[in-house]
Amino acid sequence: MTSAIVVKGLFKRYGDIDVLRGVDLDIGHGEFYALMGQNGSGKTTLISIATGTSLPTKGHVEIHGHDIVDEPEKVKRIIGYVPQENFSSPALTGHENLVYFARLFGLDNSEANRAAEQLLERMGLAGDSRKRVLDYSGGMRKRLEVATALLPGIEVLFLDEPTTGLDPSARKGFLGTLREVNEEEATIFMVTHIGEDAEVASRVGFMDGGQIVLEGEPDRLKERSGLQNVIEVETPFKGKEVASVIGAFSVDGSLQETEEGYRLYCDEPEEAMPRLVRALDGVGCGAERIETRAPSLEDVFFKATMKPLRG
Amino acid sequence: MMKSNILATVVGKSLKEFTRERMVIFWTYAVPLFFLAVLPMMYGGAPAGVVPRLKGGLTLTMVTFLVMTAGQSNLPGSIAMDTERGLYLKMASMPVSPWKESLGRIIATWIFSLAGSALMLIVGLLYGAVFTGSYSDILVAAGFSFLTAVASSGVGLIIASLVKGESAATHTGVAITLITYFLGGMALPYTSLPEALKLFARLHPITSANASMVFLLEGESYIGYNPLVAAQVYTTVVLSLLVLVVGIVLYSNLCWRR
């Protein structure tokens, strides 16, 4: 597989802070790569350098063999970037927005109109193309914005936290659309801090402290993590004593505090759960809910970095 | 793939945004129209023969007020809104020249101002305003009006580059417009200003250009001094262009993140 995106020894420093500390990546043509990391881990900085909106301190990014710093014009003709923010104009219709971006991209008026109509159809927005974006739902607006990154000639898509603000149903539909786009040969590079979003990718990378600390196919990452099962415990209150009781049941001693209680990793949950309930009763903190599930990418991320993804 | 016209594309988009936003229309067009309707009520003591020319002077000043509002408030407001919603990140990843894009925004602001100015002149004439200049005076006055648009856009771009947030940028523009209007000899007679403000009125490219317009079309008695001396005209032209160039340079470097 030939490379679509190559990142070599990338560093970025803001003042005294090293946001990127030697990132190396090689993403093949047609791959769907999801980069996961906490807020502030350097994901957005990496995508902003790769799309030419920010300059690296050191290192290189090549898209289809063209260096983003030395040949920005060539790169900008083959990439489509969807920033985290909703950048479409609410005062314009969906059609007008797409024509605007198509013309900025270099298409003439008739090409831009044709491309806009095709993309609106493809994104399921044809019926709403004459409505102002002001009247679009969050999911419709995000699909419209992804359409701006699918103009003719674009081969590599960069998406920054594309599902932020979408409800679960809109998110599911949106991720399905991304899969379809990827199946049509487009290379996708997506950054996210939501594990479920990364599940649709063909390869996932974990970013922590400005470096890629682990990468691989989602299922392989889960297998290699050695995690068997996850237990989620909802407790009426939290505290050192409660954490110590629950932590004793964790296979590797690690315990993650969640909004409702705690999360731990366990090899034999059926055997551990009744004992855990009794132990919690013993310290006067009866579990309000306890359940087991298969490990997710967020769990694998925690295992690799000892940091919660949505911390 | 044919080359698209980025200028025309940005002009079209900016004009649609300006004309579809009711508050923009209200603050840019309705406020000066309101002043134009109300302020002549204070001319009760003036001789009847003078009132039409007072209305003419007021109409020209309200044209300048409108042009200032469009350039100094609407333009930075729309840029700040686009910054907030990440449009510049998107555009910086596309093959778009910041210079051409800024020119598109500026031209759209000028067209929006021109439409408002035409409306203001029509209303002024219907309301009894009289202009006395020759055809060449009208042409030169139009040139000075263009200079007010040039300088206003420059100030607007500077505001957009330095003030973050749509509301802050818009309000900064409104404040600068009102300060210029009240302290620069547009609201109060030039002769009644203290010396420091007289100097401000002569040096400020917008108030100076406005004074030149009124001088050309209504005469010196309506403006209080002769602004058409070579040094002042030269200063007005140079400062108007300088403010615009500084605005474009700041905008291209600060609003387009790199």
Which three-class secondary structure string do you get for chain A? CCEEEEEEEEEEEECCEEEEEEEEEEEECCCEEEEEECCCCCHHHHHHHHCCCCCCCEEEEEECCEECCCCHHHHHCCEEEECCCCCCCCCCEHHHHHHHHHHHHCCCHHHHHHHHHHHHHHCCCHHHCCCEHHHCCHHHHHHHHHHCCCCCCCCEEEEECCCCCCCHHHHHHHHHHHHHHHHCCCEEEEEECCHHHHCCCCEEEEEECCEEEEEECHHHHHHHHCCCEEEEEECCCCCHHHHHHHHCCCCCCCEEECCCEEEEEECCHHHHHHHHHHHHHHCCCCCCEEEEECCCHHHHHHHHHCCCCCC
Partner residue opposite B94 with nearest CB, options A55, A76, A132: A76
Q: How many structural domains is chain A composed of? A: 2
Would A223 be classed as within a structural domain? no
Does residue B2 register a pLDDT over 60? Answer: no
- CA separation for the pair B50, B225 (Å, rounded): 18
CB atoms within 10 A of CB A93: 22
- Chain B residues in contact with A77 by the CB 8 A cut-off are 95
Looking at residue B257, its pLDDT comes to 67
Poorest-pLDDT segment among A106-120, A246-260, B27-41, B47-61: A246-260
Does residue B81 register a pLDDT over 90? Answer: yes
Poorest-pLDDT segment among B11-25, B38-52, B66-80: B38-52
A37 and A98 fall within a common domain: yes
Q: Show the domain range for A290.
A: 228-294
Partner residue opposite A104 with nearest CB, options B9, B21, B257: B9
Mean pLDDT of the residues in chain B: 93
> For the segment B135-180, what is each residue's pLDDT rounded down to a tens digit?
999 999 999 999 999 999 999 999 999 999 999 999 999 999 999 9
- pLDDT bracket for residue B258 (50, 70, 90): low
Looking at residue A270, its pLDDT comes to 87
A179 and A270 fall within a common domain: no
Looking at residue B3, its pLDDT comes to 56
Partner residue opposite B95 with nearest CB, options A77, A83, A85: A77
Looking at residue A24, its pLDDT comes to 97
Looking at residue A309, its pLDDT comes to 79
Q: Do B90 and A87 count as a contact with CB atoms less than 8 A apart? A: yes
A114 and A143 fall within a common domain: yes
Is the CB of B89 inside 8 Å of chain A's CB atoms?
A: yes
Partner residue opposite A84 with nearest CB, options B1, B21, B86: B86
B110 neighbors B13 (Cβ within 8 angstroms)? no
- Which among A183, A198, A217 is the end of a domain? A217
CA distance B254 to chain A (A): 12
Percent of all residues in chain B with a pLDDT value above 70, rounded to a whole number = 98
A46 and A174 fall within a common domain: yes
- Chain A residues in contact with B253 by the CB 8 A cut-off are none
Interface probe with B: pick from A46, A55, A87, most Cβ of B within 10 Å: A87
Report residue A36 as tokens. 């996961």
Is the CB of B3 inside 8 Å of chain A's CB atoms?
A: yes
A44 and A148 fall within a common domain: yes
A234 and A180 fall within a common domain: no
Distances (CA, A) of A28 to A24, A155, A219, A300, B195: 14, 12, 19, 24, 71
Q: Which residues of chain A have pLDDT under 70?
A: 311
* Closest residue by Cα to residue B90 from A82, A46, A84: A82
CB atoms within 10 A of CB B134: 10
- CATH for A47: 3.40.50.300
The pTM of the full predicted model, rounded to 2 decimals, is 0.87
A156 and A53 fall within a common domain: yes
Looking at residue B4, its pLDDT comes to 59
Would A309 be classed as within a structural domain? no
A18 and A122 fall within a common domain: yes
Report residue A10 as tokens. 């990338």
A125 and A247 fall within a common domain: no
Would A119 be classed as within a structural domain? yes
- Chain A residues in contact with B15 by the CB 8 A cut-off are none
ipTM of the complex: 0.90
> For the segment B90-116, what is each residue's pLDDT rounded down to a tens digit?
999 999 999 999 999 999 999 999 999
Does residue B43 register a pLDDT over 80? Answer: no
Quick one: average pLDDT of B185-193? Answer: 91
A114 and A95 fall within a common domain: yes
Quick one: average pLDDT of B64-78? Answer: 97
- Chain A residues in contact with B92 by the CB 8 A cut-off are 51-53
A110 and A243 fall within a common domain: no
A180, HSE (Cβ side, Cα atoms, 13 Å) = 13
- CATH for A263: 3.30.70.100
Poorest-pLDDT segment among B5-19, B34-48, B69-83: B34-48
A59 neighbors A222 (Cβ within 8 angstroms)? no
Distance in Å from the first CA to the final CA of chain A: 36
Does residue B1 register a pLDDT over 80? Answer: no
Looking at residue A43, its pLDDT comes to 94
- Chain A residues in contact with B86 by the CB 8 A cut-off are 83-87
Q: Do B93 and A51 count as a contact with CB atoms less than 8 A apart? A: yes
